[in-house]
């Protein structure tokens, strides 16, 4: 049986919350990137059945209009919350090349991307709820507090209600405290983590963890609130969203198992506010 005809998740489960949720947490993936288009078409966008939010490229680092519109159509059909996947202006390398931009340049490129995506979303009666750095900008977000602050402040000035998704850790907490923006700390499933709590990025590690190990990684975060680093050290971690890359081997099957372990992925805006007590009791 093909993935296209396999049993489907009832999409109403993404918008009607189960009062007996095991965990209030978002499950996220990328869609609309050039390198992933063939995968999604071959699998009839089956991955979107199991995730609650998606990151869509904003036409600067990647994202041809037709493939973005196709991705948005399937995201809407599957009741996935939309996020702006922002990156460096690098269409040749699809956002994976490091660029040295001053604050004003980076801010302007971010605003161009947010405005472009919102303009496309408006006729579809959609809007983006979060922003997630992509590729080299994600790496810079890990390595450079100045970049992280510029991204956060730009988003906050553009939309006070939007959520910044970023790697779980002290930098994201600092961003939230200093800028006042809502954040959703992320664990990047399938990645090794260093003893500093930083995911090991790069194509060489994109498929480094077997699906069984991905599930063990998830269980450890859910049950113990920890990750195991490459040196064997156990690290505390708080997460409101888990990211699954479409490039991960067997990602559709893995996503189905993750969905079952979580109990039901929850839309990112809800997952991000559970720590405030707004939805007290749902994550017990």
The pLDDT score that the predictor gives to residue 13 is 65
Q: Residues 84-89: what's their mean pLDDT?
A: 96
Q: What pLDDT does 272 receive?
A: 79
Asked whether the whole model's pTM tops 0.95, one would answer no
Which residues partner with 227 through β-bridges?
A: 235
pLDDT tens-digit series, residues 181-201: 999 999 999 999 999 888 887
Mean pLDDT of 86-92: 92
CA angle (220, 224, 227) in 5-degree steps:
50
**Quick one: average pLDDT of 242-258?**
94
* Structural class in CATH, domain 24-276: alpha beta
Q: Is the pLDDT reported for residue 278 higher than 50? A: no
Does residue 51 or residue 3 have the better pLDDT?
51
Contact 133, 149 (CB under 8 A): no
Mean pLDDT across the chain = 87
How many CB atoms lie under 10 A from the CB of residue 108?
13
pLDDT of the residue at 6: 43
How far CA 43 is from CA of 49, 88, 133, 246, in Å, comes to 11, 29, 26, 11
Q: What are the domain boundaries of the chain? A: 24-276
Residue with tokens 């961003």: 175
């Amino acid at each position: 049986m093909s993935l296209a005809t396999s049993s489907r998740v009832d999409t109403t489960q993404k918008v009607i919350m189960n009062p007996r949720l095991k965990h209030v947490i978002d499950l996220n993936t990328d869609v609309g990137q050039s390198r992933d288009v063939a995968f999604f078409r071959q699998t009839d966008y089956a991955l979107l059945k199991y995730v609650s939010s998606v990151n869509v490229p904003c036409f600067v680092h990647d994202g041809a209009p037709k493939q973005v519109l196709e991705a948005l159509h399937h995201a809407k059909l599957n009741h996935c919350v939309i996020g702006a996947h922002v990156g460096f202006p690098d269409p040749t390398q699809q956002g994976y090349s490091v660029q040295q931009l001053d604050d004003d340049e980076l801010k302007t490129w971010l605003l161009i991307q947010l405005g472009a995506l919102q303009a496309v979303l408006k006729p579809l009666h959609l809007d983006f709820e979060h922003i997630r750095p992509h590729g080299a900008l994600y790496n810079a977000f890990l390595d450079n507090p100045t970049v992280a602050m510029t991204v956060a402040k730009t988003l906050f000035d553009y939309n006070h209600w939007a959520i910044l998704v970023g790697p779980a850790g002290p930098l994201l907490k600092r961003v939230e405290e200093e800028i006042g923006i809502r954040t959703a700390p992320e664990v990047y499933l399938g990645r090794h983590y260093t003893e500093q709590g930083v995911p090991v990025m790069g194509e060489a590690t994109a498929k480094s963890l077997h699906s069984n190990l991905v599930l063990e990684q998830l269980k450890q975060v859910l049950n113990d609130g920890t990750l195991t680093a490459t040196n064997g050290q156990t690290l505390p971690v708080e997460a409101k969203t888990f990211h699954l890359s479409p490039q991960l081997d067997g990602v559709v099957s893995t996503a189905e198992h993750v969905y079952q372990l979580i109990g039901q992925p929850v839309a990112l805006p809800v997952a991000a506010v559970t720590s405030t007590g707004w939805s007290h009791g749902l994550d017990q």
